[in-house]
Structure 1
């Protein structure tokens, strides 16, 4: 990936920032920690911009703009400056490295592909180390099949070989828009989306099903009006509920035997059939 003139100016400015001596760094950190001195925090951050640039260059092979990588790294740098505790007597650069790398890695994972990858620590390690480990194995004296390479990488990163195969396939291909024309002949050209089959009903089938459903609900409501209260209770519990009740359960509720519940249910079903046949021309119970 080429570096633009703006990126080169930004890198030059970052590399020209003065270093901080250990005592000066500690004094600025104390001023920020104890007095919330924003100027002190900014001086610490600017003095370590070269660390951000150095870290960002390690991720430029992912095809993302260098300026964006540096900006994300700077966010991590500011986070490190806000959290830095001078009482630990650790150099700020050592502490900030983790935050800068984490911020850039999160940006790469969010923007490298329109397909979101795994965000677990194991998946991140696989994403950022697979190419390096594969190249190292390729430089060895042994001849390894693709499966053997995946096995060794899986063992090194403590993930499954299936995860390695999936990630390898992702890194070896690029995103393709489903709306991109296949022939390049302009807007009238067919795209990949046109060839994706759908299991959903066609629009006219959906409308027909909706109309038929409304008609059936109307017929059922009319037929149910022919039932008495006990018959309607049994039909709703046995035939219309998501989880139907047993004959014995309904018998306990209604205070009758389960055989009597069966008789009432059969009589109610016959009433419904008769009502549907007599009131809806062309209706068939077959």
Structure 2
């Protein structure tokens, strides 16, 4: 459903549209001259003349997006931002008309604005979703059963092929565009005091579980420190540098430091880990209780 402006805003928009459409078109040579003056000499008068001449592109593009439920004036403003970005980046020596170059920037600016404001839930975060958002209605209108509430499996498959996206993306976007934003504080029915928010499960751990987890973690840390203390100095060095350091040392590095081979370091590490495991399991009946989720 298109957004309807108040009468004063409509009159202001109409004045701007008429003004834009009355601006004279630029010849290729004059456009090149203006673009060169702006790029080389930073001539703002040349920039203003070029931007005013192509404001009609902004109006034309905004009219194509007017059915997304957003104010026409806002679309025009966003398009003007895209037009200014195009002017800042345009390179006249590439022998491309400014209108062709600016059209992409104008359309991109408006599409980004629509995706940001069409819903409070972010839409079109990937290239596939963005393509679906702006083409699903158009492609659906070409399907014979487009008047039905939902697309058929064949219709979804055809749209997915046309846009080179997954069928699951088509289904997700179809559901997203057929729904509407709703507050979680809305009552579930007329006259009810319960709202939708009240039926959302809180999956965070309870305060009791947090305290128990902290206590268990402290106990495991204490048991580990006691178990490491039972190892020989060489075994402690290997465990600390291999298992407890942020960037563990290699077998070769420890071998050079201890004056033994890599294989000997591996054997010592394996023996130390067995001792730690035996020492830790003395505190619990089930070794699985030592695992942290």
Would the TM-score normalized by the shorter structure come out above 0.5?
Answer: yes
- Determine which of 192, 203, 209 is the counterpart of 2:213: 209
Match of 1:196 in 2: 200
- Alpha-carbon displacement from aligned partner over 1:61-89 (angstroms, at most 9, x marks no partner): 22222222111100111122233445566
Q: Is the aligned partner of 1:10 residue 2:13? A: yes
Q: Is the 8 A contact 1:15 1:49 kept in 2?
A: no
Shift of 1:104: 0.8
Could you tell me how far apart the structure 2 residues matched to 1:256 and 1:33 are? Answer: 67
Q: Is the aligned partner of 1:225 residue 2:225? A: no
Match of 1:156 in 2: 162
Q: Is the 8 A contact 1:273 1:285 kept in 2?
A: no
User: After superposition, where does 1:75-86 map in structure 2 within 5 Å?
Assistant: 75-86=81-92
Could you tell me how far apart the structure 2 residues matched to 1:110 and 1:25 are? Answer: 33
Match of 1:279 in 2: none
Quickly say closer, same or farther: Cα 1:138–1:218, change in 2 above 3 A.
Answer: same
Q: Is the aligned partner of 1:109 residue 2:118? A: no
Q: Is the 8 A contact 2:81 2:109 kept in 1?
A: yes
Q: Is the 8 A contact 2:223 2:280 kept in 1?
A: no
Shift of 1:154: 2.0
Could you tell me how far apart the structure 2 residues matched to 1:238 and 1:227 are? Answer: 15
Match of 1:280 in 2: none
- Alpha-carbon displacement from aligned partner over 1:187-235 (angstroms, at most 9, x marks no partner): x955434323344421111112202321342344345434443565687
Q: Is the 8 A contact 2:188 2:196 kept in 1?
A: no
Shift of 1:284: 5.4
Quickly say closer, same or farther: Cα 1:197–1:87, change in 2 above 3 A.
Answer: same
Give structure 1 regions of 4+ aligned residues with deviation exceeding 6 angstroms: 234-243, 264-270
- Determine which of 52, 67, 71 is the counterpart of 1:65: 71
Q: Aligned to 2:143, what secondary structure does the other structure show? A: helix
Q: Is the 8 A contact 2:26 2:53 kept in 1?
A: no
Match of 1:19 in 2: 24
- More off after superposition, 67-76 vs 106-115: 106-115
Structure 2: segments with no counterpart, 5+ residues = 287-293
- Determine which of 86, 100, 111 is the counterpart of 2:106: 100
CA RMSD of aligned residues (A): 4.2
Match of 1:182 in 2: 187
Could you tell me how far apart the structure 2 residues matched to 1:255 and 1:85 are? Answer: 67
Could you tell me how far apart the structure 1 residues matched to 2:99 and 2:39 are? Answer: 17
Structure 1: segments with no counterpart, 5+ residues = 277-282
- More off after superposition, 162-171 vs 7-16: 7-16
- More off after superposition, 41-50 vs 196-205: 196-205
Could you tell me how far apart the structure 1 residues matched to 2:76 and 2:18 are? Answer: 13
Whichever of the two has the greater Rg, that structure is 1
TM-score, normalised by the number of residues in structure 1: 0.72
Q: State the aligned residue count.
A: 267
Shift of 1:48: 2.3
TM-score, normalised by the number of residues in structure 2: 0.71
